[in-house]
Amino acid sequence: MLYKTDSMPVLQLNHLRKNFATQKAVDDISLTIEQGQIFGLLGPNGAGKTTLIRMITGIFYPDEGEILFNGKKFDPLNDVAYIGYMPEERGLYKKMKIGEQALYLAQLKGLSKADATKKAKEWFIKLDMHSWWNKKVEDLSKGMSQKFQFVTTVMHDPKLIILDEPFSGLDPVNANLIKDEIFNLAKNGATVIFSTHRMEQVEEICDHIVLVNKGQKILDGTVAGIKQDFKENLYSVQFANQLLPEHLAIHLFEVIKRKENEIIIKRDPGYSNNDILQYFINKGLAIHSFNEILPSLNEIFIRLVEGTPTARQFSETNHS
């Protein structure tokens, strides 16, 4: 969800390439991320997402191409202070008390001890963690350590926040809590790169996505626009409680699936929705609802990465 836009993008990747031995981990990827955007970085395992993130955070240097941060060439030594990175693999000190660890990590990002203490206490209270201050990381559950790592990622008010599977291990209540904080951070001007395998979370949170596969960008656009691009003229038609005719016009649409008082149809592109509605009216059928079925991001992901399912497969996935 894009909350705020400046004329200058926060992050621009221009023709990035990164090779490891004979493997092209990132192969000529370009993308632009605006301020206040919650940006989905998606792809199957081994697609190049982690390599991209590591170049954005200065862990790796690209073999070719350039990274612009706030309109200037990315300077890892100085710009990383404005970036918060929450990796999927936790990087916490297990034997250290989490209050002390929060202060230590915040000071590494440039906060004074007084500011770090103030920020840590604010976040601990906000996420109902105030009783954890003297706990050690090794004593935390997976969900508790996930909340703590989120706090250490954002407490220095980074301009760019990179979250890799941030909801891993969280129960629904805490997942909603973190999700709300992500929205608040973006609303207040932070830019978020969100990487996950959970496509339903991407649909709920992100406005814009990029899909990478085998080191290359294969999809780039808004969630709404991409779903429109991949629609297949599928519709769910529900009728009032009445017996449906066994045979319905094949020239207007194909019946993909039939239930008691509902049919899933694929409209012939030569006809309009009004043509179909008029057909049912002429048949004396009372329509309860008529809704277009758009593919989910999960279906689009599978379609692009593994192959192209048919409209019938789309329908059975959504309405089984």
pLDDT tens, the chain, 320 aa long: 555 554 579 999 999 999 998 888 999 999 999 999 999 999 888 888 999 999 999 999 999 999 999 999 999 989 999 999 998 877 788 889 999 999 999 999 899 999 999 999 999 999 999 898 999 989 988 889 999 999 999 999 999 999 999 998 899 999 999 999 999 999 999 999 999 888 888 999 999 999 999 999 999 999 999 999 999 999 999 988 767 777 776 789 988 988 888 889 999 999 999 999 998 888 888 899 999 999 999 999 988 888 644 333 444 444 44
Measured distance CA(258)–CA(241) in Å, rounded = 14
Domain final residue pick, 223, 255, 283: 223
pTM, to two decimals: 0.84
Instruction: Evaluate the CA torsion angle 100, 103, 109, 110 in order and state its sign.
Output: negative
Measured distance CA(82)–CA(157) in Å, rounded = 8
Measured distance CA(249)–CA(317) in Å, rounded = 24
Q: Are residues 55 and 127 located together in one domain of the fold?
A: yes
Residue 254 φ/ψ, nearest 5 degrees: -110, 135
Q: Are residues 57 and 179 located together in one domain of the fold?
A: yes
Measured distance CA(202)–CA(166) in Å, rounded = 12
* Residue numbers of the domain that contains 234: 228-319
The overall longest dimension of the chain from CA atoms, in Å, is: 76
Q: Are residues 287 and 189 located together in one domain of the fold?
A: no
| Token pair of 236 as six digits | 């769910």
- For the chain, what's the residue count? 320
Domain final residue pick, 223, 249, 271: 223
Measured distance CA(274)–CA(270) in Å, rounded = 12
Measured distance CA(189)–CA(273) in Å, rounded = 41
Measured distance CA(190)–CA(168) in Å, rounded = 22
Q: How confident is the model at residue 313, as a pLDDT?
A: 42
Q: Are residues 233 and 303 located together in one domain of the fold?
A: yes
Domain count, the chain: 2
Q: How confident is the model at residue 220, as a pLDDT?
A: 94
Measured distance CA(207)–CA(221) in Å, rounded = 9
Q: How confident is the model at residue 82, as a pLDDT?
A: 94
Q: Are residues 114 and 20 located together in one domain of the fold?
A: yes
Q: Is residue 6 part of a domain?
A: no
Q: How confident is the model at residue 310, as a pLDDT?
A: 39
Q: How confident is the model at residue 3, as a pLDDT?
A: 52
Domain final residue pick, 189, 223, 257: 223
Amino acid, res. 70: N
Q: Are residues 218 and 239 located together in one domain of the fold?
A: no
Are 293 and 314 contacting, i.e. CB atoms less than 8 angstroms apart?
yes
Residues in Cβ contact with 221 at an 8 Å cutoff, skipping those fewer than 6 apart: 208, 209, 229
